[in-house]
Structure 1
Amino acid sequence: MQRIKIKVAYDGTGFCGWQLQPGLRTVQGVLELAVERITGIPVRVHGSGRTDSGVHALGQVVHFDVEDVRATVPWQKALNSLLPDDVTVLDAELVSSEFHSRYSAKRKTYTYNLWLENSFFLPWRRHYVWKCGPVDLASIDKAMQFFVGKHDFASFQNAGTPVSSTVREIYYFKRYPGQSGQEIVLEVCGSGFLKQMVRNMVGCLVNIGRGKAEPETVRSLLERKDRTAAPATAPAQGLFMAGVEYGESGCGGTDAGRNQFENCGINGEA
């Protein structure tokens, strides 16, 4: 058997998330159907992480195993000829059998798009931003830095996925201009993320940006380790899985916020 690694981008609007669910359209299910059409047998594909319904990806990493005779298939071209318009394979390569898209990951990067204008809204952006309205950017910039470092993120984990530890390390949290003058992009890179952790952090930042809490609130919420003390979860549609790194160098999503679509070779929406 040979292991194939692919990098995938998708528009999460029409999917019920990444993970297989009976009777529902999922990214994993669509990919497995395409791989099976090439191999002639069912093949399980493994993603670097799960995304919820409505969440998008610019750099989801996936691996699967195929028989030796299928190793030379031009996987990017073959899969893209079978996949629907809202999923595309950005690249494909043979990797060692020791590689695992999830367990070999060293760091992950996510971006989140915010729409800051109340007087109008571009309708074609509705699936890709949170229309949160005006926020104080200086307060958000200050609050983001309290997330950086190694902390217990129990206050920012939603229920549903048991984990052995809620401690994670955030390497950076940055703000970039968005695709239009009415948008900003928040980009966060870390060792890993708990269930809906990024959306919960963004929900907290917007709450602070609206003047409902002080930036220092982030520190107290981290210390409390109580999800019920933190603000509501941000909507799914503004979130993008931007990239996954497997080496020891810096985070792979450094410019993902500024160049979301240029970096992954996609024109228009992800």
Structure 2
Amino acid sequence: MPRLRLTIAYDGTQFAGWQLQAPGGGRSVQGCLEEALGTLCGQPVRLHGAGRTDSGVHAMAQVAHLDVPEAKAGLPWQRALNARLPPDVSIVAADLVADDFHARFSATGKVYRYTLWVERAYILPWRRAYVWNVGRFAPLDVAAMDACAGLFAGFHDFAAFCNAGSEPASTSRLVHGVTRLASPSPLEMTWEFRAEGFLKQMVRNLMGALVAVGRGKVSPEDIRSVLTMGQRRLAPPTAPASGLCLVGVEYASDGRGHKRHLLHQPEAGQG
């Protein structure tokens, strides 16, 4: 069966997350997509995502794949799916790829961005669902936050920044970088997190630590100690889901014979 790769954007506000939920567990992005795909394929399908985003987390370039019937391979998948999906999910791209491509296991890295609202006097209502409003804490000590961000780069045991609810084989991860991006607006501050992979709510926990440092609640050295001791209870609280967005999934190739492919929209810093 031909293998179809989808690049997906969604507003996570009204979803219980990417993953299929038990009956009564709420809407899932995977569920919405499988329903539309099943209609087009004429049979039930199973979609495999690059990773699971939590309730309220957004995506600009989530990646998923499925195998489709040979007779359906030539469908205009992007147009056909977008005509059947709800307004908070869109197909950014749809491509036939090699049958050994796997959205999750072929991935070599992921890129997330987290956006803070830092204006003290107000928040624009239409940005509320896509940022963490830390304006009441402003001004943040940006230099201290930058220093703390540097501690996360490299290969570390991130047990202190992994929330309960998963049992990974290892809590060690290679983080390529945590970077404060140049912002087009003084109202917001966006941080980018690049790694080979992330633990459960790890990005939100790292962001929570950075904000705690920016507020002066803890120092970068305190966070260094937390990282070393590996106990979640010692770390600052988890940042809200609303500010987090999956903006890229990295692959060694694009599944069509082209090397080093990043399904990513680098200009996007929203959510």
TM score, norm. by length of structure 1: 0.92
Distance 1:143 1:235 in 2: 19
Gaps of 5+ in 2: 254-258
Partner in structure 2 of residue 82 of structure 1: 84
SS at match of 2:17: coil
**Contact 1:177–1:183 (8 Å) recurs in 2:** no
Distance 1:84 1:195 in 2: 27
Distance 1:2 1:238 in 2: 36
Partner in structure 2 of residue 71 of structure 1: 73
Distance change in 2, residues 1:222/1:252 (3 Å): farther
The aligned amino acid for 1:241 is L
Partner in structure 2 of residue 32 of structure 1: 34
Superposed counterparts of 1:127-166, under 5 Å: 127-133=129-135, 134=138, 135-166=140-171
SS at match of 1:246: strand
CA deviation vs aligned residue, 1:154-175 (integer Å, no higher than 9, x gap): 0000010111000101101111
1:207 aligns with 2:212: yes
Partner in structure 2 of residue 55 of structure 1: 57
Percent identity between matched residues is 50
The aligned amino acid for 1:20 is L
Higher mean C-alpha deviation, range 150-159 or range 75-84: 75-84
Distance change in 2, residues 1:179/1:12 (3 Å): farther
Higher mean C-alpha deviation, range 132-141 or range 142-151: 132-141
Displacement of 1:218: 2.5
Distance 1:14 1:217 in 2: 36
Partner in structure 2 of residue 260 of structure 1: 268
The aligned amino acid for 1:149 is G
**Contact 1:108–1:252 (8 Å) recurs in 2:** no
**Contact 1:47–1:61 (8 Å) recurs in 2:** yes
Distance change in 2, residues 1:250/1:92 (3 Å): closer
Displacement of 1:213: 1.1
Gaps of 5+ in 1: 262-268
The aligned amino acid for 1:223 is T
1:91 aligns with 2:96: no
SS at match of 1:109: strand
Distance 2:263 2:163 in 1: 24
1:244 aligns with 2:252: no
Displacement of 1:251: 9.1
The aligned amino acid for 1:54 is G
Distance 2:248 2:62 in 1: 7
Distance 1:46 1:31 in 2: 11
Displacement of 1:95: 1.1
Q: CA RMSD in A?
A: 1.8
Displacement of 1:181: 1.6
Match of 2:222 among 205, 217, 234: 217
Displacement of 1:119: 1.1
The aligned amino acid for 1:17 is G
**Contact 1:150–1:169 (8 Å) recurs in 2:** yes
Partner in structure 1 of residue 11 of structure 2: 11
**Contact 2:30–2:47 (8 Å) recurs in 1:** yes
Partner in structure 1 of residue 232 of structure 2: 227
TM score, norm. by length of structure 2: 0.92
Distance 2:42 2:260 in 1: 40
Displacement of 1:254: 8.4
**Contact 2:61–2:263 (8 Å) recurs in 1:** no
Partner in structure 2 of residue 101 of structure 1: 103
Distance 2:128 2:36 in 1: 29
Displacement of 1:255: 7.2
Displacement of 1:180: 2.7
Across the two proteins, how many residue pairs are aligned to each other? 261
